[in-house]
Amino acid sequence: MKINIEDVDVLVVGAGNAASCAALSAREAGARVAMIETAPEEARGGNSAYTGGAFRFPFTSVEQLLELSPDLAEMDLSKIDFGTYPKEQYFSDVAEWTEYRCDPVLTEILVDNSYQAGLWLRGHGVRFQPAFGRVAFKVGDTFRFWGGLACHIWGGGEELLRAQYKALEKAGVKVNYNTTCVGLLEGDGQIEGVKVRTADGVGEIRAKAVVLACGGFESSPEMRARYLGPNWDLVKVRGTRYNTGRGHQMAIEAGAAVTGHWSGAHACQWDMNAPPYGDLSIGDKFQKHNYPLGIVVNARGERFIDEGLDFHVLTYAKYGQEMVKQPGLIAWQVFDQKVTKYFRDEYRMRPVTKETADTLEELATKLAGVDPEGFLKTVREYNAAPRPDVPFDPSVHDGLKTSGLAIDKTNWANRLDSPPYEAFGVTAGITFTFGGLKISTEAEVEDASGKPIKGLFAAGEIVGGLYYHNYGAGTGLAAGAVFGRIAGASAARLARG
């Protein structure tokens, strides 16, 4: 079958954040660029379309934030405490989250280039805004930011991609939808294009360089069960249904080396009645990230995590993995009136799986799937546990901790004694998989001997080596932008000789 995509220097597979950055960067370097996307136009954008827009970058001054988000100038900055997030902190955070397994060279490239990548995106029409409702609490009359995140992308993934597609159109880069990459064309020691499937059949697209930016394998129950283990095939998918791991498979067939935590994935607490795949009209709002302010109980009525170990942006991605180990993959988050004023907007939206009761005994009868006696025993022990006499403050590690419990709660351990009580039903929602392709500092895909596979580049979720065990919010989009830019520039350089 003839495919009308010709004279391409750089072919980018995918149309999410990493792919768009790679295509724009290759175009800026003078290459003729085309993109192919397996999804129809109305479902374009992969996981990037579902994002809340958190974007992690280092900063040491408000001036840097002002440059990225000029809207800040209209605000009373004396009433906002952004703190700082130096490169050293960012680097050591990633090292700690990944239990010191992250690739130090790739991590350094991420840390050193994410702020510049933000400015570059701003140059392509992406707007940034301070993330008040997400990573800041009002304490007294000051908004205090925490967790190393100061700015989000305005309008989340939807507006990020709207700006990127507009920039691609302006740059003359066409996105070919309903075009699935099913294989790589291997020539003499070089990748020379791809095999694709469309509604009209299978065909080939020739290119001097190929950038794989087609996401992880989170959308494939088969690959999830195969690599992540039991019950991962049962989880809900927070985003796209199209990231089925074909990119991984075709690169491996072409001799690519793999790296990263192949049995690991980003997953979080997700509304237990959410649909099996993401809903673009809801975006990321089926997530329930305020668990640090309450307790979480499983079907036996038992707590199974330290809800107050750290700010949610530093624990949410690994606690979703704990959900997969719970009976029936279900749990309930329980709160009282001392903390509901801090609820993120995802707790106030509809639809939501929620129960309310004036007594804990009444609540125990309403938590679907939970042993009421087990729940009441847990709450009584939790409320009775000794605590230091320190004030509750959700914007810092307040040290309001329990002691003597099977799992103590390290911070924000208020007793549950201010009715009405509110409970939210959750399950495991997978975001993306951690295992991926081994790339060089130029985003070239490497073979088993560490040599670049000529003509093959990768960026975004498909890249391995950055994430192990855990993940800090806002790193996904930042890494996609940083390595997308590098992949595009390197591919253009090769293509243009």
Ligand X SMILES: Cc1cc2nc3c(=O)[nH]c(=O)nc-3n(C[C@H](O)[C@H](O)[C@H](O)COP(=O)(O)OP(=O)(O)OC[C@H]3O[C@@H](n4cnc5c(N)ncnc54)[C@H](O)[C@@H]3O)c2cc1C
Q: Which of residues 459-478 bind ligand X (CB under 6 A)?
A: 460-461, 474-477
Answer for the pair 487, 295: CB distance below 8 angstroms, yes or no. no
Angle formed at CA 324 by CA 323 and CA 330, multiple of 5 degrees: 55
- Tell me whether residue 205 or residue 309 sits nearer to ligand X (CB atom): 205
Where would I find the H helices in 180-243? 221-228
Q: Which of 9, 10, 48, 489 binds ligand X (CB under 6 A)?
A: 48
Specify the stretch interacting with ligand X by CB under 6 A; choose among 24-32, 44-52, 88-96, 402-410.
Answer: 44-52
Asked if 131 interacts with ligand X (CB under 6 A), we say no
Q: How far is the CB of 152 from ligand X (least distance, A)?
A: 7
- Tell me whether residue 293 or residue 479 sits nearer to ligand X (CB atom): 479
Q: Which of residues 16-35 bind ligand X (CB under 6 A)?
A: 16-19
Answer for the pair 270, 427: CB distance below 8 angstroms, yes or no. yes
DSSP of 342-407: G--GGGTSSS--EEEESSHHHHHTTSTTS-HHHHHHHHHHHHHS---S----TTS-------SSSS
Q: Which of residues 271-300 bind ligand X (CB under 6 A)?
A: 278, 284
Answer for the pair 36, 13: CB distance below 8 angstroms, yes or no. yes
384: tokens are 């009775």
Specify the stretch interacting with ligand X by CB under 6 A; choose among 239-247, 324-332, 415-423, 438-446.
Answer: 239-247
Count of residues touching ligand X (by CB under 6 A): 43
Beta carbons within 10 angstroms of residue 227's beta carbon: 20
Specify the stretch interacting with ligand X by CB under 6 A; choose among 15-23, 62-70, 162-170, 318-326.
Answer: 15-23
- Tell me whether residue 246 or residue 401 sits nearer to ligand X (CB atom): 246
What whole-number distance in Å separates Cα of residue 102 and Cα of residue 91?
Answer: 10
Q: Is 171 helix (H, G, I), strand (E, B) or coil?
A: coil
Specify the stretch interacting with ligand X by CB under 6 A; choose among 235-243, 345-353, 368-376, 441-449.
Answer: 235-243
DSSP 173: P
Q: Which of 10, 12, 23, 39 binds ligand X (CB under 6 A)?
A: 39
Q: Is 325 helix (H, G, I), strand (E, B) or coil?
A: coil
Q: How far is the CB of 162 from ligand X (least distance, A)?
A: 14
Q: How far is the CB of 149 from ligand X (least distance, A)?
A: 9
DSSP 60: S
What whole-number distance in Å separates Cα of residue 453 and Cα of residue 449?
Answer: 10
Element (H, E) at 212: strand 201-212
Q: How far is the CB of 219 from ligand X (least distance, A)?
A: 8
- Tell me whether residue 412 or residue 434 sits nearer to ligand X (CB atom): 434
What whole-number distance in Å separates Cα of residue 160 and Cα of residue 21?
Answer: 11
Q: How far is the CB of 22 from ligand X (least distance, A)?
A: 9
Answer for the pair 399, 390: CB distance below 8 angstroms, yes or no. yes
Q: How far is the CB of 336 from ligand X (least distance, A)?
A: 28
- Tell me whether residue 12 or residue 413 sits nearer to ligand X (CB atom): 12
Q: What is the end-to-end Cα distance of the chain in Å, rounded?
A: 30
- Tell me whether residue 208 or residue 238 sits nearer to ligand X (CB atom): 238
Q: Which of 50, 85, 311, 434 binds ligand X (CB under 6 A)?
A: 50
Q: For residue 86, give the nearest of 114, 128, 106, 67 by alpha carbon.
A: 114
Q: Which of 113, 164, 220, 243 binds ligand X (CB under 6 A)?
A: 243
Q: How many residues can be counted in the chain?
A: 497
What residues form DSSP beta bridges with 13? 36, 212
309: tokens are 């170990």
Asked if 181 interacts with ligand X (CB under 6 A), we say yes
Q: Which of 3, 32, 34, 46 binds ligand X (CB under 6 A)?
A: 46
Q: How far is the CB of 20 from ligand X (least distance, A)?
A: 8
What whole-number distance in Å separates Cα of residue 445 and Cα of residue 441?
Answer: 10
Asked if 213 interacts with ligand X (CB under 6 A), we say yes
Q: Which of residues 401-440 bind ligand X (CB under 6 A)?
A: 431-432
Q: How far is the CB of 137 from ligand X (least distance, A)?
A: 19
Q: How far is the CB of 78 from ligand X (least distance, A)?
A: 28
Chain residues binding ligand X by CB under 6 A are: 13-19, 36-39, 45-48, 50-54, 180-181, 213-215, 238-240, 242-243, 246-247, 278, 284, 431-432, 460-461, 474-477, 480
